[in-house]
Amino acid sequence: MLLGVNIDHVATLRQARGTRFPSPIEAALVAETSGADLITLHLREDRRHIQDHDVDAMRATIKTRMNLEMALTDEMLANALRVKPEDVCLVPEKREEVTTEGGLDVIRYFDEVREFTRQLTDAGIRVSIFIDPDVKQIQAAWDAGARVIELHTGAYAHADFQHEAQQVELSRIREAAVFGDHLGMVVNAGHGLNYHNVKPIAAIQEIAELNIGHALVSHALMVGFASAVREMKALMIEGRQGL
């Protein structure tokens, strides 16, 4: 199972004071040497954390794989076609939200998703869609040309300490992963995952990759970034092995 380390909130801390530190680039390099398989970052329209220069520097520096999250806007499409990351993940975005609140409604925005997917794929960029664990949305993503999805695990994560509700959400994720895998898609997952709830998600064999940010960056304040990445990767491996 692959671990994508989202370094957005390293930039959040930097932007709180408008300084040059802490460096998202430095965090990405530490993550790579500590077991991260890819680096995920989200260039939002309001530039609340990651900045354009971060994306350019990251593209030139990291040795693994860049997963660039972006909204369905012409500005972000042009930027992705210029930067050419290995992966682009299409996500919904609202300026008033604290963080991404749910998956992209592919059915509603089908034509836009299909066109963005076509242009990015033609440029040699693998396209993923951040999507709720819903078979109709997954089918729409496939029909739009996407061959990778990232299942939104927020509802599962927010059900912490509510065992029955969490098991319901876990079942939804498992069924969605099986459906996507049956279609021939690469199935990833992420959002709200932490050191206490990651193992059951990692145990789902159809899920290939987890993208984790806030919990990891928060834990890094206490134990250091390298240790935080190593601990998360170890938990994922244990979960996959049923330990």
| Residues in binding site | 6, 8-9, 17, 44, 49, 99, 192, 213-214
Binding annotation for 1-deoxy-D-xylulose 5-phosphate:
8-9, 44, 49, 99
Phi then psi dihedrals of residue 99, to 5 deg: -145, 175
Residue 191, helix vs strand vs coil: coil
Both tokens of residue 32? 């790579």
* Residue ranges of the binding site for 3-amino-2-oxopropyl phosphate: 6, 17, 192, 213-214
What b/e string do you get for 179-194 counting C-beta neighbours within 10 Å, with b at 16 or more? bbbebebbbbbbbbbb
Among 69, 93, 169, 209, the one annotated catalytic: 69
Other C-beta atoms within 10 Å of 53: how many? 9
d(CA 3, CA 188): 10
From 150, 152, 191, 209, active-site residue: 191
Largest CA distance in the chain: 47
Is 69 part of the annotated catalytic residue set? Answer: yes
42 is known as an active-site residue: yes
CA dist., res. 177 & res. 2, Å (int): 15
Burial classification of residue 117, based on how many CB atoms lie within 10 Å of its CB (0-12 exposed, 13-18 middle, 19 or more buried) = buried
- The terminus-to-terminus CA distance of the chain in angstroms comes to 15
User: Exactly one of 32, 42, 93, 209 is catalytic; which is it?
Assistant: 42
Q: Which residues are catalytic?
A: 42, 69, 191
